[in-house]
Amino acid sequence: MDLEQIRSFLTLAQELHFWNASEKLFITQSALSRQIKGLEQDLGIQLFERNNRNVKLTKAGTFLQEQWTRLSEEIDRVHRQAKNIHEGTFGLLRVAYPGSIAFGFLPTFITAIANELPDVKLELVEPTDVSFEQLLLNYQLDLALRRDPAENPALHSVVLYSEHFALIVPETHPLRADNFKDLTQVKDERFILSGLHHKTYYVSCLRELFRTYGFKPNVHIESDFGGMILSLVAKGLGISIMPSSYASNAPAGVRFINLPNRTNLYAAWRKDDNNTVLKNVTTILQTVAEGFQSFSKDYNA
């Protein structure tokens, strides 16, 4: 007994006519008759009552029609899912990201995946003080979005886009792009920043930025959530420094002033990973990144 015999049986059970069933199956009536006889012999069951004029199912045949119809539908579903997995339109992808992209780039990227690959499930991870390279190499992650490039030769590492850091002040603040010179103008003000004690590459860039201007900021409020920081700046509770792409989704009441210092966003994944879901997602990723790079150029112009 094989799937071909079962499908032939189901077609005949639906048509109850050998000629019509053989036409649908693109085989001869004699070939169909041999398949049905072989199936009955294998099962030791009579499936059809037939004479020169009529074909009808036996009770056992009716039972098997019901059961095998459900089985056939499940097999078709499994085959479709296997094809989707092969084509990279179904599966799970574990993605690490830095908090600095959670407000702008990341939601845009996730939306693009949801639109183009609706059956792909994402598991988002925001590791802190953990080696993203080791997580990738240990197969605990599939894709890492980072502010620092990967150094391990077993990993792909590509720059997605580059952008300025920006000083973010309340709209009522006296500093504007036309009278801003450098950060020493705000060295005595209260800052709202990610915790500068963190060991992430992004925070190390912030520390280096302040070292460049020769002062340690008065961090009045610490937060790793960009949306919260912008809301607090808009309320006049302090100023901040964040990547300029936050301006694309900034609330009313804040002003962005670009700094000469820049930051990059990188993507990293295993070179030997043949996961077709990952291939499709990285294609979407680079398309979204091109849009953000265009925004950065327009904004910085």
| Dist CA 255 CA 233 (whole Å) | 9
* Pairing verdict, β 55-57 and 48-50: antiparallel
CATH entry 3.40.190.10 includes domain 91-160+265-300? yes
| Dist CA 233 CA 169 (whole Å) | 6
CATH entry 1.10.10.10 includes domain 3-87? yes
Domain pair 91-160+265-300 / 163-263, same fold: yes
pLDDT one digit per residue (tens) for the chain, 301 residues? 788 888 888 898 888 888 888 888 899 988 988 989 988 898 999 999 887 778 899 999 899 999 998 888 888 777 766 665 665 667 889 999 887 787 778 999 999 999 998 988 999 987 655 678 888 998 889 999 998 888 899 999 999 998 899 999 999 999 999 999 999 999 999 999 988 888 777 888 899 999 999 999 999 999 888 889 999 999 999 999 999 888 877 889 999 999 999 999 999 999 988 888 899 999 999 999 988 766 555 444 4
Provide CB contacts within 8 A for 9, sequence distance 6+: 35, 36, 39, 47, 61, 64, 65, 68
| Dist CA 283 CA 7 (whole Å) | 40
Residue 290 tokens, joined: 């091109």
- Selected from 3.30.40.10, 3.40.190.10, 3.40.630.10, 3.50.50.60, the CATH number assigned to the domain covering 163-263 reads 3.40.190.10
Per-residue HEC secondary structure of the chain comes to: CCHHHHHHHHHHHHHCCHHHHHHHHCCCHHHHHHHHHHHHHHHCCCCEEECCCCEEECHHHHHHHHHHHHHHHHHHHHHHHHHHHHHCCCEEEEEECCHHHCCCHHHHHHHHHHHHCCCEEEEEECCCCCCHHHHHHCCCCCEEEECCCCCCCCEEEEEEEEEEEEEEEECCCCCCCCCCCCHHHHCCCEEEECCCCCCCHHHHHHHHHHHHCCCCCEEEEECCCHHHHHHHHHCCCCEEEEEHHHHHHCCCCEEEEEEEEEEEEEEEEECCCCCHHHHHHHHHHHHHHHHHHHHHHHHHC
Q: Structural domain boundaries of the chain?
A: 3-87, 91-160+265-300, 163-263
